[in-house]
Amino acid sequence: MQLVSKSNILIVGLGLMGGSYAKALHRVGFHVNAIAHKQEDIDYALEQGFIDQGAAFPDPELIGSAELIVFALYPHVFKQWIEENQKYFQPGALLTDVTGVKRCVVYDIQEMLRPDVEFIAAHPMAGREVCGVRNADDRIFREANYIVVPTEKNTPEAIEVCKSLGRVMGFQRITELTPEMHDEMIAFTSQLTHCIAISLMTCNDADHIGSFTGDSFRDLTRIARINEDMWTELFLDNIDALIHEMDLFAAEFGRLRWMLASRDIEGIKNTMRKSTQRRIALDQGK
Amino acid sequence: MQLVSKSNILIVGLGLMGGSYAKALHRVGFHVNAIAHKQEDIDYALEQGFIDQGAAFPDPELIGSAELIVFALYPHVFKQWIEENQKYFQPGALLTDVTGVKRCVVYDIQEMLRPDVEFIAAHPMAGREVCGVRNADDRIFREANYIVVPTEKNTPEAIEVCKSLGRVMGFQRITELTPEMHDEMIAFTSQLTHCIAISLMTCNDADHIGSFTGDSFRDLTRIARINEDMWTELFLDNIDALIHEMDLFAAEFGRLRWMLASRDIEGIKNTMRKSTQRRIALDQGK
């Protein structure tokens, strides 16, 4: 398929991310339909005018009319949905997703998929601390990264359409990683950070900390407000990579503790200089 | 002293925090002088018009004319400065500070001080990832906490003036803690968070992470850009409390790792629910 303004796009799963995709894609002129679990979410999106049609069940007509389908589901629901409903896909349909882990979905889905449709995985690295379609907001894409995650089974055309999709939704930077590289990178930059935020928020029972915090504590715990069902599944689906990153962090944190306890001033300052240089490089987009 | 609009205030130390104090206090109409280490910092503040007079040495005249003196110095420099220059203070002068650790300065300074002046400690919980007077900005106080840290030696009048100072500079919330409580709280909400950010930034040598991060990694590492001289001193001056908090965090992080590795789904979700509840309470100002 080619991504043109009249393309018929179906969003499956109308939560925060599915809703934000629908808003972004509707805004730029696509015909956007949605399938959700709850009728009230469909009704809300119709009222707000960011989908054209919707159903609270796997409507064969909506599925069959879609040239591009975006899956915004939990990993285990995603696979099951494909299994049950792929018979309704139109030949040549392109499928993509927003799933935060890739190894555990990409290969299985490409394996089980009908040969006349193609699945190209993507990970929009954006989110909010609240969930549900009522919190959908496509402005979260503006300064965000969008990672396309192809395998050997993907065609150059599908990869290109997937990148175009990221571009039209307003993502700042679009890159490509293998499923393995993606999961390793995400274990470090996203999953580890969530584990740290959770542990910081739960490690000390001090009361009334709101009166005694600076911005730093608020920044480090913003993501400690977390959807426990989704993140537990994402963590466990990437557990080997996550545990590896947790161990790297714990070792480095332990090293800093040791330098502090032994008053190794040069060691402490060298570590701080390294961290400062790396953070400046990150701000410069490196 | 009473804090009235004609009060003569001296800032000693014209870095990010001293400069931000000068801007805030000058804006509301005080006569603000400054003593700094470098003449160029004084010249900059005079040119920008947020101090009235300044000197790059401990000018007896500027010191003697001040009713209120704010010390914005590193802890070890602070004590030495008092020792050498307290002979110039006017009788009845009130001293305060911005130091991020309290036990190690408050008692020593109150002990060595002339009996006809009073030192009331305070900690403005605001900052930036850049330093120096050229980055001074009193808007950082707007949503920030300001902690007054009295001891038994302080008078109710001095405590009240110190709180007024926080109010006129625009701090959102003004509270009171003992030096011991302050240092324990700060070890958790500020020093531990900086140690975590540094370790996250230095634990993994992955390149080009800028293309694969979401907001979470940026939020958690913003403070990894750190002034190594100041923070090493602040950490080591509060090392017992900091190590205690680091150990609490490491234990909690290890507990989460264990639950993940053993797929203890209920344990993981309970921890996430606790962290979510606490983060919501923090947003509600608790």
Per the CB < 8 A criterion, the answer to whether A280 and B225 are in contact is: yes
Cα–Cα distance list, B78 to B99, B109, B249 (Å) = 9, 9, 32
Distance CA A39, CA A57 (A): 9
pLDDT tens-digit map of A223-282:
999 999 999 999 999 999 999 999 999 999 999 999 999 999 999 999 999 999 999 999
How many distinct structural domains can be found in chain B?
A: 2
Q: Which residues of A247-281 are buried (b: 16+ CB within 10 A; e: fewer)?
A: ebbbebbebbbebbeeebbebbbebbeebbebbee
Please state the separation of Cα A43 from the chain's center in Å: 25
Q: Which residues of B163-202 are buried (b: 16+ CB within 10 A; e: fewer)?
A: bebbebbbbeebbebebeebbbbbbbbbbbbbbbbbbbbb
B28 and chain A in contact, CB less than 8 A: no
Q: Are residues B257 and B155 in the same domain?
A: no
Average pLDDT over residues A186-212: 94
- Give residue B19's pLDDT: 97
Q: What is the CATH number of the domain that holds B260?
A: 1.10.3660.10
DSSP states of B225-266 as a string?
Answer: S--HHHHHHHHHTTHHHHHHHHHHHHHHHHHHHHHHHTT-HH
Give me the residue from B201, B213, B228 closest to A145, CB to CB.
Answer: B213
pLDDT band at B224 (very low <50, low <70, confident <90, very high): very high
User: With an 8 Å Cβ cutoff, are A279 and B127 in contact?
Assistant: no
Residues of B in contact with A141 (CB under 8 A): none
Residue A49 exposed, middle or buried by CB count within 10 Å (0-12, 13-18, 19+): exposed
Q: What is the CATH number of the domain that holds A50?
A: 3.40.50.720
Average pLDDT over residues B47-53: 97
Q: Are residues B89 and B19 in the same domain?
A: yes
pLDDT tens-digit map of A82-124:
999 999 999 999 999 999 999 999 999 999 999 999 999 999 9
pLDDT tens-digit map of A130-169:
889 999 999 999 989 999 999 999 999 999 999 999 999 9
pLDDT band at A207 (very low <50, low <70, confident <90, very high): confident
- Give residue A5's pLDDT: 65
Per the CB < 8 A criterion, the answer to whether B120 and B150 are in contact is: yes
Q: Is residue A2 part of a domain?
A: no
* A 179-238 residues inside an 8 A Cβ radius of B: 185-186, 188-190, 192-204, 206, 208-226, 228-229, 231-232, 235-236
Q: Are residues B86 and B171 in the same domain?
A: yes
Residues of A in contact with B226 (CB under 8 A): 272, 275-276
pLDDT at A1 exceeding the cut of 80 = no
Domain that holds residue A90: 8-177
Backbone angles phi, psi at B97, to 5 degrees: -150, 180
Which segment of A225-239, B209-223, B242-256 scores lowest on mean pLDDT? B209-223
* Amino acid occupying residue A209: I
Q: Are residues B200 and B79 in the same domain?
A: no
Residues of B in contact with A282 (CB under 8 A): 209-210, 213, 218, 221
- Residue at a domain's end among A144, A177, A210: A177
Say which residues have a Cβ less than 8 Å from residue B223's Cβ, sequence separation at least 6.
A216, A219, A220, B129, B193, B194, B197
Per the CB < 8 A criterion, the answer to whether B113 and B172 are in contact is: no
Question: pTM for this one?
Answer: 0.92
Backbone angles phi, psi at A9, to 5 degrees: -110, 135
pLDDT tens-digit map of B161-184:
999 999 999 999 999 999 999 999
pLDDT band at A208 (very low <50, low <70, confident <90, very high): confident
User: With an 8 Å Cβ cutoff, are B250 and A248 in contact?
Assistant: no
Q: Is residue B270 part of a domain?
A: yes
Residues of A in contact with B256 (CB under 8 A): 195, 198-199
Distance CA A160, CA A148 (A): 9
- Give residue B1's pLDDT: 67
- Residue at a domain's end among B177, B196, B223: B177
User: With an 8 Å Cβ cutoff, are A268 and B173 in contact?
Assistant: no
Among candidates B222, B183, B189, B280, which has minimal Cα distance to A213?
A: B189
- Give residue B68's pLDDT: 97
Q: Are residues B134 and B153 in the same domain?
A: yes
Q: Are residues A17 and A66 in the same domain?
A: yes
A172 and chain B in contact, CB less than 8 A: no
Q: Are residues A158 and A188 in the same domain?
A: no
User: With an 8 Å Cβ cutoff, are A197 and B269 in contact?
Assistant: no
Q: Is residue B3 part of a domain?
A: no
In terms of CA atoms, which chain A residue is nearest residue B229? A269
Average pLDDT over residues B30-38: 97
Q: Are residues A172 and A192 in the same domain?
A: no
Residues of B in contact with A254 (CB under 8 A): 250
Q: Are residues B23 and B94 in the same domain?
A: yes
Q: Are residues B134 and B90 in the same domain?
A: yes
- Give residue B169's pLDDT: 96
Give me the residue from A190, A220, A236 closest to B193, CB to CB.
Answer: A220
Q: Are residues B252 and B276 in the same domain?
A: yes
Residues of A in contact with B221 (CB under 8 A): 275, 279, 282
Query: Hey, what's the torsion of the CAs at A19, A219, A210, B181, to 10 degrees?
Result: 160
- Residue at a domain's end among B116, B148, B177: B177
CA distance A193 to chain B (A): 6
Judged by DSSP in three states, B145 sits in: strand
Average pLDDT over residues A182-209: 95
Q: Are residues B50 and B102 in the same domain?
A: yes
